[in-house]
């Protein structure tokens, strides 16, 4: 398996990573735990060193699964997880308040069974919280040794630039496939300029009927704590 470094960071990962969400979330009932643990370990034996999860997957259960499955490979694999979405009343709600980020980090560390999170993404931009405050909070977690690298998921170019100015961003994760090429327009050139790695999710395509580029509904990001919903490509307004 080829290895790559994400951007200008020293974070080296396998060229192909394994997204673990579907093992316990998003695509029907959770799969059999022993079978998924076997799958995770087979992936490592096949050369995969990059694994992706999030606290909202399950919620929480996917992190526990990944932590258990990869426990024998500590120091040999990179685990990325995410903060910034929580469940309220059965709905996904954006919440990247500093106190919530810190709480999420402690929970992820415990469930994954690690001393530090290798790559910690903001799952979705929270329009109620300035990105500088988010980046500053993660910077503090890095200084405390609880997080190694900072990432963003589905963030617009200006949001990336603002975050990167506070705490260097190691990687941006966004949907990218033959069906969804929008990152090529502005995001990829900006990441190349800034020296930030790009991690595509659903590279083989991720669409359901009626959910195509330019559509709304099921394609929209989780609703913020208050106010109107926003689509994944929009930039939240910057308050003064």
Give the H or E element holding residue 19. Answer: strand 18-19
Side-chain-side CA neighbours of residue 89 (13 Å):
4
- Residue 240 in domain: no
The pLDDT tens digits of the residues spanning 74-103 come to 999 999 999 999 999 999 999 999 999 999
Residue 207 confidence (pLDDT): 58
**Which residues in 39-123 belong to E strands, given as ranges?**
50-52, 78-83, 85-88, 91-94, 119-122
- Residue 227 in domain: no
Q: How far apart are CA 138 and CA 122, in angstroms?
A: 9
CATH number of the domain residue 77 falls in = 3.20.20.100
pLDDT confidence tier of residue 226, bands split at 50, 70 and 90: very low
Domain extent, residue 43, equals: 3-205+214-219
Q: What is the pTM of this model?
A: 0.88
Cβ(3)–Cβ(12) under 8 Å? yes
Strands 78-83, 12-14: parallel, antiparallel or unpaired by DSSP?
unpaired
- Residue 64 in domain: yes
- Residue 236 in domain: no
- Residue 101 in domain: yes
Cβ(157)–Cβ(189) under 8 Å? no
Report cis status (omega within 30 of 0) of the bond before 59.
yes
The pLDDT tens digits of the residues spanning 1-38 come to 999 999 999 999 999 999 999 999 888 899 999 999 99
The pLDDT tens digits of the residues spanning 154-183 come to 999 999 999 999 999 999 999 999 999 999
Total structural domains within the chain: 1
Cβ(151)–Cβ(11) under 8 Å? no
| Residues with catalytic roles | 57
């Amino acid at each position: 398996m080829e290895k790559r470094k994400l951007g200008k960071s020293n974070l080296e990962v396998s060229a192909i990573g394994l997204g673990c969400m579907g093992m316990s979330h998003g695509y029907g009932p959770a799969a059999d735990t022993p079978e998924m643990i076997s799958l995770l370990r087979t992936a490592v034996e096949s050369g995969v060193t990059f694994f992706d999860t999030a606290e909202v997957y399950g919620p929480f259960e996917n992190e526990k699964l990944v932590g258990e499955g990869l426990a024998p490979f500590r120091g040999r694999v990179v685990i990325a997880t995410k903060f910034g979405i929580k469940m309220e009343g059965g709905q996904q709600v954006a919440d990247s308040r500093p106190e919530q980020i810190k709480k999420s980090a402690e929970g992820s560390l415990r469930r994954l069974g690690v001393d530090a999170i290798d790559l910690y993404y903001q799952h979705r931009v929270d329009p109620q919280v300035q990105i500088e405050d988010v980046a500053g909070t993660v910077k503090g977690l890095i200084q405390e040794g609880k997080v190694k690298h900072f990432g963003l998921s589905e963030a617009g170019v200006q949001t990336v630039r603002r975050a990167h100015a506070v705490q260097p961003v190691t990687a941006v994760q966004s949907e990218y496939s033959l069906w969804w090429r929008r990152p090529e327009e502005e995001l990829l050139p900006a990441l190349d300029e800034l020296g930030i790695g790009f991690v595509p999710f659903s590279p083989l395509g991720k669409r359901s009927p009626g959910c195509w580029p330019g559509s709304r509904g099921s394609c929209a990001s989780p609703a913020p704590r208050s106010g109107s919903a926003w689509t994944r490509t929009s930039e939240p307004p910057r308050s003064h």
